[in-house]
Structure 1
Amino acid sequence: MGHFSVNLKNRLRSFHPFKLTVPLKYALVHEWLTPKATGGSELVVREILNQIDADLYALIDFESSNPDNYLYKRQIGTTFLQNFPLARNGVQKYLPLLPLAIEQLDLRQYDVILSSSHAVAKGVLTTPNQLHICYCHSPMRYAWDLTFDYLNNSKVGNGWLGWFTRYLLHHLRQWDVISSHRVDYFIANSQHTARRIWRCYRREAQVIYPPVNVAECPFLREKEDFYLIVSRLVSYKQVSLIVQAFNELQRPLVIIGTGPEMPYIRQIAQPNIQILGWQPNDVVQKYMARAKAFVYAACEDFGIALVEAQACGTPVIAYGAGGALETVKDIRNCTDTGTGIFFPEQTAAALVTAVEKFEAYQDLFNHDQIKEHAYQFSTSVFQQKYLSFVEQCVVNKTISSQKV
């Protein structure tokens, strides 16, 4: 951590908005802590804990008992869902109970509540004297943007059970909007997410990109003759679309990841496509560094994998929507500094055209420039911006409380 961050961290610990001689007490609230939860939101939680001395809370926790996890033996507050059957595999199955569960966390002893939310974490109950800062990865996807995907791809989306599910999602959206007013300040992980926060909650959000460990990504200038996708194999990630395109292109494609769409993807993939399933991080990084290009067809709120690929000096072929528009520079518009190429529609035909365009522009990519571009999303940048924003929020809370 740099000198600035050390000083800022110490100031955050010592500055109290009401009693300047008493250190602040922080709580950090996240949705769930399980071995299967390893995405960008978990990276944000880890980095916040590295910077701020906070007590940790979640709906469920199965990581503090995991010897391989950095949270091993840490005391973590949980809810009644902790003891529910099959909770370890995901509490989403108890969706109607999530708002009730998060509201049972008693956080009255804390001065500052930090939440890391993509579902219900922002809905914790707070008092007027507390400051609540929410890092929002996304408004609840299955209640908003992905409602119809969720219904169409779920067993509970049809018949009378489907109507009951729609009724539950209707009330979940109402709770989601109401609970957004419990937050004093929102942080969004991208401009795309900030626009979604405004659309769903009518709340402004400060954009601070999530931390990406770009320094740990291996860099290679010489690439091999294969394309790569690293993703969970779920419907909205559109991996089957990528497979269809590469079936037509007959270019070598490597797929890393697992999920419910694995059987279907194995069924339709032709011999030019290699499916490796889940792989440890060191294997993933080696493939990212060696790949000719990283291919991504989902509309992501941010898309950490896109940045990691670029940190390896690997150009990106991505669907031109969402967070990708903020992390990738299309070489057709930025000849000297381009880091990838976009395709305009989530169709196999559009991706086929994009791959062919990529190969036409392939010799123009500067792999060193691609790596340099990724460093604006580094962990150190997140540290400085997040801690600075928290400090400013504390100052604002102090000023407003003194006026009362």
Structure 2
Amino acid sequence: MKVAIIHDYLNQYGGAERLLEAICELYPDAPIYTSIYNPDKVQHRFDGRDVRTSFMQRLPGVINHHQVYLPFYTFAFESFDLSGYDLVISSSSAWAKGVKVSPETLHICYCHTPMRFVWQFDDYAKRERIKGPAKAVLPLFLNYVRLWDVKTAQRPDFYVANSQTVRERIARFWQRDAVVINPPVEVSEIPYRGAPRQDFYLWVGRMVPYKRADVAIRAFKELDLPLKVVGTGRDMEALKKMAGPRTEFLGFVPDEQVRELFTQCRAFIQAGAEDFGITPVEAMAGGAPVIAINQYGPAEIVLDGKTGLFFETQTQEALVEAVRRFEADPAKFDSAEIRRYAETFDHQVFLKRFGDYVNQRWEEHTRGKGAPNGERNNVKGEDTKIRV
């Protein structure tokens, strides 16, 4: 079986790129097709892989300023010659799903989310601080991108979503169904010793608006409880100004030390409404209860009253109330039980789930079951969420 892997771009390293690494582990000989690639920006994680870039790789300044080349992506991915491949797996939050394949080729898309800048423009503009003329003009061009997005959403044969939240968006925006297979988390690399928890709370993430570090920092100033803040970003100075005396900014912390913090903290604070949320799962792998916003991914992965508890709105007041509930009875949360639950998200679990799903679809494909591309996987299908 000849396999190709498609990914939006390789000029940053985050959750989507971790997912790509896992897919590459399943298909080590498959080339990666992507719009642009800079090994330094992805921590050289794909050194030795056959990475094939589009014509966009030659555009001036594209690695650091890829957003300004927005009009080129549709052409870049449709220009790839994927003839001769039996199986195409796209890892997509924007463009990769739009590749063209032969009728006899099976195309499975792992979708991180439909395009945020198209379907959630107001939230995206706020998140990226798009203002002035750009905010006024960009929606006009995005009308074209939205039409392209809907059209090309019919190209994959099957969709896999990283969460129920994303599955619902796929159904709402594209009228397609998806199975849910959560992305891999390196649970086995996070130590768990069962030692008593220390007295500090923990927040980890990039300091950008949608992560809502401000909610945690203001809440812990009011609570007068110790909070360690890990991460860097454009909002750091503003966040420091609003912090109380018991909030400690650690800046960049190596992964090994962050994992130690997960094993030590009293609880982990998740104020951002992520599509999934790898970091709170990592915290649970260290045995930490998670105090999380009851929205999107965090609402799916935290078990209220068992592995953590929820607050309902992204406000200082709501988080303060949740922390006080936690402080009233922290002993109810069993770190060993929390760790066991986190293990259901482990990297090896993902490899088996995703590998088995692809193999099942491939067997059906080779037997000639189902309809042609884009017609096998509609919103009227059964509930196909895959979880332990």
Name the TM-score, length of structure 2 as normaliser.
0.90
Distance 1:403 1:28 in 2: 23
Q: Which residue of structure 2 aligns with residue 88 of structure 1?
A: 63
Offset of residue 351 of structure 1: 0.6
Letter in 2 for 1:196: R
Offset of residue 68 of structure 1: 5.7
Pairing 1:149–2:123 present: yes
Offset of residue 136 of structure 1: 0.5
CA gap of 1:141–1:106, structure 2 versus 1, over 3 A, is same
Aligned length: 370
Q: Which residue of structure 1 aligns with residue 82 of structure 2?
A: 107
Distance 1:402 1:292 in 2: 51
The C-alpha deviation readout for 1:362-402, integer Å capped at 9, x for no partner, is 01111100000111111222111111111121122223379
Q: Is the 8 A contact 1:142 1:150 kept in 2?
A: yes
Q: Which residue of structure 2 aligns with residue 30 of structure 1?
A: 7
Q: Which residue of structure 2 aligns with residue 128 of structure 1?
A: 103
SS in 2 for 1:105: coil
1:385-396 matches, cutoff 5 A? 385-396=353-364
The C-alpha deviation readout for 1:65-111, integer Å capped at 9, x for no partner, is 68963321333101122233333335233223222222222211311
Q: Is the 8 A contact 1:151 1:158 kept in 2?
A: no
Letter in 2 for 1:59: S
SS in 2 for 1:88: coil
Letter in 1 for 2:144: H
CA gap of 1:264–1:126, structure 2 versus 1, over 3 A, is same
Pairing 1:214–2:187 present: yes
Q: Please, which of 198, 202, 224 is the counterpart of residue 198 of structure 2?
A: 224
Pairing 1:41–2:9 present: no
Structure 2 unmatched runs, 5+: 373-388
Name the TM-score, length of structure 1 as normaliser.
0.87
CA gap of 1:366–1:101, structure 2 versus 1, over 3 A, is same
Q: Could you tell which deviates more after superposition, 136-145 or 181-190?
A: 136-145
Q: Is the 8 A contact 1:108 1:126 kept in 2?
A: yes
Distance 2:79 2:371 in 1: 32
Distance 1:341 1:205 in 2: 28
Letter in 1 for 2:238: Y
Offset of residue 155 of structure 1: 6.1
Distance 2:61 2:32 in 1: 22
CA gap of 1:235–1:67, structure 2 versus 1, over 3 A, is closer
The C-alpha deviation readout for 1:121-171, integer Å capped at 9, x for no partner, is 1111212121110001111112223x1133345565324x33211112222
The C-alpha deviation readout for 1:233-287, integer Å capped at 9, x for no partner, is 2211111122121221121111111222223212322322111222221121111
Pairing 1:199–2:172 present: yes
CA gap of 1:267–1:82, structure 2 versus 1, over 3 A, is farther
Distance 2:127 2:21 in 1: 32
SS in 2 for 1:275: strand
Find runs of 4+ consecutive structure 1 residues off by over 6 angstroms. Answer: 401-404
Q: Is the 8 A contact 1:303 1:323 kept in 2?
A: yes
Q: Is the 8 A contact 1:256 1:276 kept in 2?
A: yes
SS in 1 for 2:337: helix
Pairing 1:139–2:84 present: no
Pairing 1:116–2:91 present: yes
Q: Is the 8 A contact 2:291 2:311 kept in 1?
A: yes
Q: Which residue of structure 2 aligns with residue 238 of structure 1?
A: 212
Q: Which residue of structure 1 aligns with residue 286 of structure 2?
A: 312
Distance 2:295 2:371 in 1: 44
CA gap of 1:217–1:175, structure 2 versus 1, over 3 A, is same
CA gap of 1:70–1:166, structure 2 versus 1, over 3 A, is closer
Q: Is the 8 A contact 1:320 1:343 kept in 2?
A: yes
CA gap of 1:350–1:67, structure 2 versus 1, over 3 A, is closer
Pairing 1:74–2:42 present: no
Q: Is the 8 A contact 2:364 2:370 kept in 1?
A: no
SS in 2 for 1:54: coil
SS in 1 for 2:368: helix
Q: Is the 8 A contact 1:156 1:165 kept in 2?
A: no
Pairing 1:190–2:190 present: no
The C-alpha deviation readout for 1:184-207, integer Å capped at 9, x for no partner, is 100011112111110111100011
Q: Which residue of structure 1 aligns with residue 378 of structure 2?
A: none
Pairing 1:343–2:311 present: yes
Distance 2:9 2:223 in 1: 40
Pairing 1:266–2:248 present: no
CA gap of 1:156–1:379, structure 2 versus 1, over 3 A, is closer
Distance 1:157 1:68 in 2: 32
Distance 1:402 1:30 in 2: 26
Distance 1:168 1:183 in 2: 24
Identity, % of aligned positions? 39
Pairing 1:164–2:137 present: yes
SS in 1 for 2:240: helix
Q: Please, which of 329, 341, 350 is the counterpart of residue 382 of structure 1?
A: 350
Structure 1 unmatched runs, 5+: 1-23, 332-337
SS in 2 for 1:325: helix
Give RMSD over aligned pairs: 2.0
Q: Is the 8 A contact 1:81 1:91 kept in 2?
A: no
CA gap of 1:172–1:402, structure 2 versus 1, over 3 A, is closer
Distance 2:359 2:20 in 1: 18
Q: Which residue of structure 1 aligns with residue 384 of structure 2?
A: none
Q: Please, which of 261, 266, 274 is the counterpart of residue 287 of structure 1?
A: 261
CA gap of 1:68–1:299, structure 2 versus 1, over 3 A, is closer
